[in-house]
Structure 1
Amino acid sequence: MDKSWINLNNRRLPQYEEGVRQFLSFAYATKDVQEKIRCPCKRCNNVLYQSRDDVEADLLQYGFIKDYAIWMLHGEELPDSDSDEDEDEGMIDGHDINEGRENIAGADGYEFFDTQDMSRRRK
């Protein structure tokens, strides 16, 4: 799916508006239309949950998060990589996706995760 529209500055272009509709169709393919999803606009930054209509309005007003091309928080799977440099688990395009994250097992056996990890796990 072409996602080049995400980084368009003019959000009134038909390509951008159609891209927003495609995103919403994808994000709601397995959800009830009444459910709230993470809003990937620049204001909500995939943190706030919004209704479908509010997500659409926010994306048209504020724009999409820059370079959010793999919609992981909306059900898209990471692409498989056949290259040798990315064979290590936790690597995407040569970058360690776990960099800066710490999992610390406490004395009681519970694991504590940093806030980025917690926000990724929350549904």
Structure 2
Amino acid sequence: MDKSWLNIRNRVDQRYRDGVEGFLNWAFSQPGLRDSYKVWDLHGEVLARVENSNVTHRDEVEDDSNVGDDITE
């Protein structure tokens, strides 16, 4: 898949818009995420262990360290 459109800073450039549209068309043609994929560990989300009573739960924790990241990075 051609990703050169990611390097175009002008978001109204037709080449950029065509690249986004092509990517979205491809993404929506895919079967989607598995129902069991609840914590996005493959996308930077981390797990935290919380103990309550005698039961250990795995809670989703949002990673704020990448706030403001740009899609090109």
TMscore range, shorter length: 0.3 to 0.5
Higher radius of gyration, 1 or 2: 2
TM-score (norm 2): 0.47
- Asked which structure has the greater RCO (Cα within 8 Å, sep 6+), the reply is 2
